[in-house]
């Protein structure tokens, strides 16, 4: 009799599970199995673990408290992180009902951390380059960047009208960025110095006169002139003196994306579902807010 009851219960359970699965599929809901074989989604536990430098204002910066919506850095006790990347991360996590966990990681460690699964995603102002796309998948873009030159307002190069007006000038940019690898080589005649380890080091090289100019993106430059009023932004976009990219190069090298593990279609699509609801104006508005609250703007 007990065997008969057990058999009946098993059959009922089987039909119940089949009915539930059918309803989910019919509703068109994304399955957590919608990813390449043996590739974890990373969010099975309901936690989205991301990494960023915490030293790349206005995209992200570290601070000592949770003011202005900053999030605690899990691997640096007593420290918090804020900025545009944090705002985007919070938007994505809240929309998917995920807990957000942020850890600090050096710039060169971000892609390897995604590849090994140490983090679920890097939201760190990364350009969606072809070389990175061989190692990780990208969601986004979540920002459309403009490349600019930053120099001192009293510099002899402050009135430059294009990227070819820097002959003999010493320049640099951040290590392993489009700024250093793709933009600086276009500035024929410039004296290209060693790459800076991070954005703060790059800006300090300009502030101290180690170099005459740096190449960066517009948000970073806008944040810099607040911190260093003596600096001047030279934006050549829309002119013959601008940096040159094909449409494909622009899509790959200039647009900013969120990296996830290769084959993790579930997480990539979940992120894209949220980003697709946002416009360029939404992105720009959030970036303006980030620039306005970065700590250096209060000095």
Per-residue pLDDT of 251-263, as tens digits, reads 676 789 999 999 9
Mean pLDDT for the chain? 88
Contact between residue 234 and residue 164 where contact means Cβ atoms under 8 Å apart: no
Q: β-strand 255-261 against 191-192: which pairing, if any? A: unpaired
**Would you state the torsion angle of the CA atoms of residues 254, 279, 277, 257, taken in this order, to the nearest 10 degrees?**
10
SS3 284: helix
Strands, sheet with 231-234, edge to edge from the N-terminal-most edge strand: 191-192, 170-172, 213-217, 147-152, 231-234
DSSP state of 196: B
| Token couple for 156 | 């002899």
pLDDT in tens, the chain (299 residues): 433 334 434 433 333 333 343 333 332 345 555 565 678 899 999 999 999 999 999 999 999 999 999 999 999 999 999 999 999 999 999 999 999 999 999 999 999 999 999 999 999 999 898 889 999 999 999 999 899 999 999 999 999 999 999 999 999 999 989 999 999 999 999 999 999 999 999 999 999 999 999 999 999 999 999 989 999 999 999 999 999 988 777 767 678 999 999 999 999 999 999 999 999 999 999 999 999 999 864 44
Residue ranges covered by each domain of the chain? 47-144+256-298, 147-249
Buried b (16+ CB within 10 A) or exposed e, 48-74: bbbbbbbbbbbbbbbbeeeebebbebe
Output the pTM of the full model.
Answer: 0.79
Query: Which position has the token pair 């990219």?
Result: 245
> Do 213 and 134 touch, CB atoms closer than 8 A?
no
CATH of 147-249, one of 3.40.190.10, 3.40.630.30, 3.30.110.60, 3.40.980.10: 3.40.190.10
What is the rounded radius of gyration, in angstroms, for the C-alpha atoms of the chain?
A: 23
Check for a shared fold between 47-144+256-298 and 147-249: yes
Strand order across the beta sheet in which 60-63 lies: 55-56, 60-63, 80-82, 71-72
Q: φ, ψ for residue 184 (rounded to 5)?
A: -55, -40
Instruction: Provide the token pair at 261.
Output: 């593990």
Burial degree of 40 (CB within 10 A; 0-12, 13-18, 19+)? middle
CATH dotted code for 47-144+256-298: 3.40.190.10
């Amino acid at each position: 009799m007990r065997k008969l009851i057990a058999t009946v219960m098993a059959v009922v359970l089987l039909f119940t599970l089949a009915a539930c699965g059918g309803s989910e599929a019919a509703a068109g809901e994304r399955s957590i199995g919608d990813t390449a074989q043996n590739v974890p989604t990373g969010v099975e536990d309901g936690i989205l673990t991301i990494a960023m430098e915490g030293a790349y204002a206005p995209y992200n910066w570290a601070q000592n408290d949770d003011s202005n919506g900053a999030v605690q850095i899990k691997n640096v006790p007593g420290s918090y992180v804020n900025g545009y990347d944090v705002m985007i991360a919070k938007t994505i996590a809240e929309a998917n009902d995920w807990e957000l966990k942020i850890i600090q990681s050096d710039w060169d460690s971000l892609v390897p951390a995604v590849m090994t699964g140490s983090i679920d995603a890097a939201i760190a102002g990364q350009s969606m380059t072809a070389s990175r796309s061989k190692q990780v998948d990208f969601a986004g873009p979540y920002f459309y960047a403009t490349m600019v030159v930053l120099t001192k307002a009293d510099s002899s190069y402050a009135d430059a009208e294009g990227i070819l007006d820097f002959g003999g000038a010493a320049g640099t940019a951040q290590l392993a960025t489009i700024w250093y690898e793709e933009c600086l080589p276009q500035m024929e005649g410039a004296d290209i110095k060693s790459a800076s380890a991070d954005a703060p080091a790059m800006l300090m090289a300009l502030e101290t006169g180690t170099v005459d100019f740096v190449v960066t993106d517009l948000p970073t430059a806008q944040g810099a002139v607040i911190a260093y009023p003596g600096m001047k932004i030279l934006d050549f976009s829309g002119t013959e003196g601008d940096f040159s990219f094909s449409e494909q190069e622009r899509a790959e090298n200039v647009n900013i994306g969120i990296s996830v593990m290769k084959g993790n279609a579930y997480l990539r699509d979940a992120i894209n579902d949220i980003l697709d609801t946002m416009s360029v104006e939404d992105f720009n508005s959030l970036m303006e807010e980030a620039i306005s609250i970065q700590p250096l703007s209060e000095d």
